[in-house]
Structure 1
Amino acid sequence: IYIYIYIYIYNYFLCMLWHINFYSILLHQAWLDHHSRSLGLFIDGKFVRPADRQSRSLSDSKGGTVCSTVCAVEDDVSQCASSAANGFKAWSGLTCSQRAKVLLSLVSVLGQHGQCVSELCELCGASCSPSTLVRLLQYYGSWAQLRDTLITNWTPLGEVNRFDFVFPFFQVWWQGVITESCLLPGNSVIIVPGRSSTPAVLLLAQLFMGAGLPAGALNVLTGSDMSLGAKVAESPSISYVAYSGNKQDGVMLCKATAGMGVPVSVSPCIGATCPFIIFESADIDSAVDGVIEAAFKKKREVHWVLCVQESVLESVVARLRLRMVGMKCVALCCDGDRALVDAAVQEAQQQGATLVQSCAAPPSGAQYPPTVLCGAAPSSPFVISPSPGPLLPLMTFRSNTEAVTLGNHSPHGQAASIWTEDLTLALETAKSLSVGSLWVNSHSVSDPCLPVSGHKDSGTCTDGGQEGLYQFLRQSCSSSPPLPRSSPVSMDYSMFGTAASPAIIPDVSDPARAPKAYLQFVSGKACKSVSGCSVAVQSPGGGSVLAYCPEGGRKDVRNAVEAAVKVQPGWMKKSPSARAQSLYSLAKGLEAKRRDIVVSINVQTGLSMDEAEKEVELSIARLSDWAAYCDKVQGGPVPQSGSALSLPEALGVVGVVLPDKDPLLSTVTLLGAAIATGNAVIMIPSQKNPLPVLTFIQVLQSSDLPAGLVNIVTGLRDQLTVALANHSVIKAIWYWGSAEGCQYLQYTCTSPLKILCLFCQKDEERRDWTRSSLLEEMWRNAVQWKSVWIPTA
């Protein structure tokens, strides 16, 4: 009797599950059929299908046609921009509680249609859990409620262009983070989705409208290539562009938008190489289960590289062989991918690697068995540039230090997974790995409350948490606007910064009054430039020569970077209180040299002695402010489940091209922001007003800052800007200069990606360096965020 009851209950639930799946398939098929399987654009709160537009077909994972989508043209872009402008007025005009109500109402809407969204994603060869979207909406809906309370004096940017060409919907989590964090402050958003995510994004846009989002606040444009993103960015009303996808398209976008005056953030989430590190202290069985799931059973937006400690290598390989028995071949995207996989495997075997496979590889076809390439070397091509198939390179290490070196070998800094039962070892390794997300005894976990930054070549923005909101906000009290919107200047990038310096005509009529020759500051020492040449510093009226400063160049910047790289890791590891003490000491040194620096400001800028005295006084106070700031902002929130750390970290080496206005105050403001957060800095003084900074070198020489932490290289602004832009180690550049210089940096700083903070010199008069709110603004520009996940029972 019990057996019959069990069989009846089992069959009942099996039938119910079949009916649920059948019903959900009917839902998404019915939605596609409702649109005649021909999806248009989503503009002004409704679907639009203009006539005489090209279309492209979208196929599922089996090669069948799902639907067709419209390719937008310039008229559609103009209509969309106009709709977004109207949507911004309506959406930003609502109160925080009203916007929160709309975002939170989407939770119930997704409860009704979440399965349809999930099935639609699966049909397009991607996957998405409705529960992740619900968590996302709950988090940012509550932030919308509290924005004015917890983020005061910040206002929305306006219209944001967010697009993700060739971006699988599996990453909708972080794309949803970007969209939600765009919307909640009151911005309007234009989305240009990737091909595979287009149907689901259009459905979500429709659901947003059903939840009460004003028409025009969220628009979707579809297209055939990357040029559509640049066309949208050309609209004068666009305030910010956020891109997620592969690195090549991100670089193309940066180059296409250079000179438009619109900030661009890039998150290359596709194709990154991430280390999966197994220490001898790990639970080997759990670690092997985790690596098989991450490398072979999940969507492969990233490529994992397995790093195993030598003492447990045989145990790990034996368990891999056991777990992989019976695993089926993995479907590849196309036959072309099969050729790449075969070439990678052949190359690995030629280099001495051995194969661990679940079964024999079929002779042909777009399938390949899960394969571990044992004995890989860090320099192997199949490790540096992995093929798209289910291949897992395996490398070994001996010590903990060597594990960190292997983990940091990749140019990407997206994520890493550490497996060990030693919590101290896990945290030390987590601090040393240069990645945005790090999981301990787990992998591929995410939560919107934790901010994550792109480390190394994995992006230039911060997504998630409160910190991820600031890229879509601006300070309401800021007197200096972002880069002015303009048309790109026609320029030869190879010729930028190659102009010869003005000739110096010696004047020996009165040797007693000969101009003073200053030195630059590199590696803790005052020195001449490598070239031995000098640049004349003119008086405010330009009638006479006040002094001579060294004409630095590429070699001087290279020497400064080498010195900075040596000292920066140790400076970053110092406690915040130790860094604070050094900054307090620097403020005292500036106080001791007050008279000399007041005179240099008076002579250089023509300000009165009282005005120069006031700037020095403000500079001393600003250094003290940065000293006090060192240990005030640490850590972050905890996720919905488990435990996690949110850590602000130094960027590394920062290049700063200083403004002409307030030469001392601006210098100490930017210097304090860089070193208070653990960075090393190369500073290029104003070509027009360098003397106050050169006099400040005396303060640096008498300070206790490590040699090489602060470097000052003088010379021609454009030449030194080129040197900073072309140095691969420099992570960020803060630039005050010409519009041409801003355009050059946007076009050039793409390989590797650099974080840019750009200001056009002609608008500098409107910037108030006395504002105390500058501290928060510059602090956020000087850090990147790392999330460390620690699972708990």
Structure 2
Amino acid sequence: MAGSTNKTVHDIFQSMESGPAAASSTSTAQAWLNNNSHLLGLFIDGKSDVPANRPSRMLTDCKGTQLCSAVVAVEEDVSVCASSSLSGFRTWSELSCSQRANVMLRMVGVLGQHGVCVSEMFDLCDAACPPASLVRLLQFYSSWAQLRGTLIPGWTPLGVVLVVVSDDCSLYNLMIKVLPALAMGNSVIVVPGLRTAAPALLLAQLFTAAGLPAGALNVLTGSDPSLGATVAANPSISYVTYSGNKQDGVTLCKATAGFGVPVSVSSILGARCPFIVFESSDIDSAVDAVIQSAFNKRREVHWVLCVQESVQDRLVSRLRLRMSGMKSVGLQSEEERFLVEAAVQEASSRGATLVQSCAPPPSGAQYPPTVICGAAPSSPFVVCPPPGPLLPLLTFRSNSEAVTLANHSPHGQAASIWTEELTLALETAKSVCVGSVCVNSVSVSDPCLPVSGHKDSGSCTDGGAEGLYQFLRPSSSSSPPLPRSSRLSMDYSHFGSAAPPAIIIPDASASAPKSLPQLVCPDGGRKDVRNAVEAAAKVQPGWMKKSPSARAQSLLSLAKGLEGKRRDLSSSIVQTGLSLDKADEEVELSIARLSDWAAYCDKVQGGTPSLPLSGSALSLPEALGVVGVVLPDKNPLLSMVTLLGAAIAYGNAVILIPSEKSPLPALTFIQVLQASDLPAGLVNVITGSRDQLTAALANHSVIKAIWYWGSAEGVQFLQHSCSSPLKTLLLSSQQKGGKGARDWTHPSVLEEMGRNAVQWKSVWIPTA
């Protein structure tokens, strides 16, 4: 028809232009807000409450318009909430697994009844959690609530779990913490952020209407992340888990150090993630995915486009065509625009080429989608991308160079790999140090996929069966929790700086070897730790790639060597104050424990979770890397081989710090290590001042995890110091008289330590 502006199918495919968005209504959500007088209170003990004389915080919608006010909780509210949660835990945990599952399934029905209000509230607050995703979460975790007693025997809920999220965190990342905690029988206190406060309060009301006992889910709103630390100080809290940006996570870790409560962090926002395009990829599909993921107004991660040189020109030309006509993207503030402009100017001064959809507007909190071509990997706008629609483009030649570019980041959140070659896709997916990999797709998430935070992106696993264990503890008393305490007055900069005391070895003991190639002398210090970490980091990748059977043979040879040194080891244990019979018993248990770990080498396996999407998914266990282990005083040999075996059985390298009180068994064990076929540098033993060596481990960026048995001061120092760079912590405070000490002879310690020795990666491969 003459003069028609309608586009043909060919025109649409050439421009890859998206269609217009449908108009949305928020009348039902506004009616709910009107019913609450646009002032949202706290949700405590199964009902909403607006306490008098409380400050309030203004909540805004996705466009920045004032939506309503939320009450800011004070110390009095925290105390009432904690008491309610403790009572709610008793009621909720006493229900049978089937009863808890039925309550969670009823939540699905209630969501269906109020689906319009829920959907509109999510859209109004830009909560980034479609109701269908929430239903999927409820169905998945209700089934685990049903099967907990059958499939996870010997584990019990922690108690009261505190879930804290930052202002910019999505509701999905909040609920993937809340729902598994409830499914396992815990009660939950939620401290939501700015985006999730209104949806969290709405869901708390609906969940209670579905039959959730009063106190099982409480919501406290506040003005800043400090409220999370205030709640964590309450002795009723058993566990704290955080999701959001790294800055607020570091603040929370430092503020809760010394409370005696474990804290896990998922730094899911602001991470730099690689988008890798190989020459064997479908370029048009990759470009469309880049446009959809990199230039959204609200992005949880910063994508870096890595393109093989042979297809760079073709991809850039398609990007240029696809971006033509795109409007500027709204920013949060004028300050963000200044940061974006500064990054663009710096890139131009370094010789980079810009591809922009349109000219930047003269003013306002907006900026056009911009691709920065020719950027260097070390450029500040690549290493620490500013907020805004900027996409750095890097090039690579070989597959190994692509992996190097992808891993050149302190973050390890996610990666997107584009290729039509399955072998190349799987090889790259296993090599990149991230928790989630999508092949020929972007940002596919499902609760059945276990995802661990790699590097600075997290210290826990969310999703899958593996993500449930952060909300459980062994039912036996073999693993006592950290004792709750008040914060100690400490100067963190001087921790471990005191001169180490002399370590006196009794004459009756077996003499330590004089020449230790990868080990150090009894008065080791910071330099020895650096040397040991360097040796461990060099050998660990090769050890991790060995087959499980090869690692098992090495552990069996270590057990055989231990048996050959039975008499010397018994003599060294006697020097710690035990009788000869008890010492012989500990040696016998240690030999059996190493044999157990040899058998465990090939027992932790990945799987193929079933997703409600067309495609295949893989869950892969991976080694942590280099693990620092500060050994306890009790059972010096058995505890050492238990922790050592757990680490190396699953591919890790180890830095062992023996007990200052009883170092002799570790020194004797060195001879066993030297006679074994373990690679030099895989196991490093450094004796000396526990505090000084602990400080050296905490300050080393290569060490991924620290397992610590020591003083309350050491526990507080590690919680304060190991938040940046982020480390996974397993902490135990040794009390006088051995009160609350771990039972190293109990079989449950094997499963517990084995789960602490691995991290998980999920890989999603679509088929349609």
How would you bin the TM-score normalised by the shorter chain? over 0.9
Aligned partners of 1:250 and 1:505: how far apart in 2?
42
Residue 758 of structure 2 corresponds to which residue in structure 1? 783
* 1:455, distance to aligned residue in structure 2 (A): 0.2
Alignment of 1:336-355 (within 5 A): 336-355=335-354
Is the Cα contact below 8 Å between 2:520 and 2:687 reproduced in 1? no
1:248-275: CA deviation from partner (whole Å, max 9, x where unpaired): 1111111111110000011111111000
- 1:540 corresponds in structure 2 to none
Structure 2 partner of 1:286: 285
Against the structure 1 CA distance between its residues 63 and 504, is the aligned structure 2 distance closer, same or farther, given a 3 Å change threshold? closer
- 8 Å CA contact 1:520–1:526 kept in 2: the answer is no
CA separation in 1, counterparts of 2:501 and 2:370? 63
Q: TM-score, normalised by structure 1?
A: 0.92
The superposition leaves residues 100-132 of structure 1 with CA deviations (integer Å, 9 ceiling, x where unpaired) of: 001011111111223322221222244321110
Structure-2 residue corresponding to 1:614: 585
- Contact persistence 2:519–2:686 (CA under 8 A): no
Q: Which residue is equivalent to 1:69?
A: 70
Where does 1:295-694 land on structure 2 (aligned, <5 Å)?
A: 295-297=294-296, 299-502=298-501, 518=512, 524-528=517-521, 550-602=522-574, 604-636=575-607, 637-641=609-613, 642-694=615-667
Residue 293 of structure 2 contacts residue 442 of structure 2 at CA under 8 Å; is this kept in 1? yes
Contact 1:519 1:527 in 2 (8 A): no
Structure 2 unpaired stretches of 5+: 1-19
Contact 1:520 1:694 (8 Å CA) reproduced = no
Cα shift readout 1:118-159 (whole Å, capped 9, x = no counterpart): 221222244321110111100001110000000001111000
CA deviations over 1:182-213 (Å, ceiling 9, x no partner) = 10111100000001211111101111001100
Identity %: 72
Instruction: Note the aligned Cα RMSD (angstroms).
Output: 1.8
Aligned to 1:539: none
SS at match of 1:99: helix
Assess if the C-alpha contact under 8 Å between 1:118 and 1:127 holds in 2: no
Question: How far is 1:606 from its partner?
Answer: 2.6
SS at structure 2 position matched to 1:639: coil
Structure-1 residue corresponding to 2:17: none
8 Å CA contact 1:275, 1:417 repeated in 2: yes
**Is residue 510–residue 571 contact of structure 2 (8 Å, CA) maintained in 1?**
no
Q: Closer, same or farther in 2 for the Cα pair 1:688/1:750, shift >3 Å?
A: same
Q: Return 64-73 or 495-504, whichever deviates more.
A: 495-504
CA distance in 2, matches of 1:274, 1:63: 27
Task: Give the superposition deviation at 1:515.
Answer: 8.2
Deviation at 1:61, TM superposition (A): 3.4
1:767 aligns with 2:742: yes
Which AA in structure 2 matches 1:628? A
- Tell me by how many angstroms 1:168 deviates: 3.3
Distance 2:503 2:656 in 1: 24
* C-alpha distance in 2 between matches for 1:506 and 1:493: 31
Task: Give the counterpart letter for 2:475 in structure 1.
Answer: S
Partners of 2:518 and 2:603 in 1: CA distance: 32
CA gap 1:610/1:486 in 2 versus in 1, 3 angstroms: same
Q: Does structure 1 conserve the Cα–Cα contact (< 8 Å) formed by 2:297 and 2:329?
A: no
Select between 638-647 and 757-766 the one with higher mean Cα deviation: 757-766
Q: 1:213 and 1:605 mapped to 2: Cα distance?
A: 52
Aligned partners of 2:627 and 2:647 also within 8 Å: yes
User: Given that residues 173 and 243 in structure 2 are in contact (C-alpha distance below 8 angstroms), is that contact kept between their aligned partners in structure 1?
Assistant: no
Letter in structure 1 aligned against 2:611: P
* Contact 1:658 1:683 survives alignment (8 Å): yes
1: CA distance between counterparts of 2:483 and 2:727?
21
Q: 1:499 to 1:781 in 2, by over 3 A?
A: same
The CA deviation at 1:614 is 1.0
| CA-CA distance at 1:298 after TM superposition | 6.7
Aligned to 2:134: 133
Name whichever of 722-731 and 54-63 sits farther off: 54-63
Asked if structure 1 preserves the Cα contact closer than 8 Å seen for 2:503 and 2:660, the reply is no
1:595-631, CA deviations, whole angstroms, 9 ceiling, x for partnerless residues? 21112112x2232222211111110100000000010
Assess if the C-alpha contact under 8 Å between 1:374 and 1:395 holds in 2.
Answer: yes
Matched, 1:714 2:714: no
Structure 1 position 525, deviation (Å): 3.9
Q: Does 1:792 align with 2:767?
A: yes
Q: Is residue 440–residue 789 contact of structure 1 (8 Å, CA) maintained in 2?
A: yes
Q: How far apart are residue 306 of structure 1 and its match?
A: 0.2
Instruction: Measure, in 2, the Cα distance between the counterparts of 1:200 and 1:281.
Output: 43
Mapped partners of 1:138, 1:565: distance in 2: 42
CA distance in 2: counterparts of 1:40 and 1:176, whole angstroms: 20
Q: More deviation in 730-739 or 102-111?
A: 102-111
Does the C-alpha gap of structure 1 residues 753 and 506 become closer, same or farther in structure 2, counting only changes over 3 Å?
closer
Q: Secondary structure at the match of 2:114?
A: helix
- After superposition, the C-alpha distances for 1:619-654 in whole angstroms (9 at most, x for unaligned) are 010000000001012013332322111011000000
Contact persistence 2:412–2:433 (CA under 8 A): yes
- Cα distance between partner residues in 1 of 2:502 and 2:595: 41
User: Is residue 28 from structure 1 mapped to residue 15 from structure 2 by the alignment?
Assistant: no
User: For 1:64 and 1:665, how far apart are their aligned partners in 2?
Assistant: 61
For residue 93 of structure 2, what is the aligned residue in structure 1? 92
Q: Secondary structure at the match of 1:333?
A: coil
Q: Which residue of structure 2 lines up, in the alignment, with residue 81 of structure 1?
A: 82
Q: Is the alpha carbon distance of 1:592 and 1:320 closer, same or farther for their aligned partners in structure 2, counting shifts above 3 Å?
A: same
TM-score (norm 2): 0.95
| Count of paired positions | 744
Give the distance between the partners of 1:48 and 1:749, measured in 2 at CA.
38
Give the 5 Å matches for 1:4-43.
25-43=26-44
> 8 Å contact 1:234–1:260 — kept in the other structure?
yes
The Cα shift of 1:174 comes to: 2.8
Q: Deviations over 1:435-457 (max 9, x none)?
A: 00011111110010111110000
Matched, 1:261 2:255: no
| Cα distance, 1:323–1:773 mapped onto 2, change above 3 Å | same
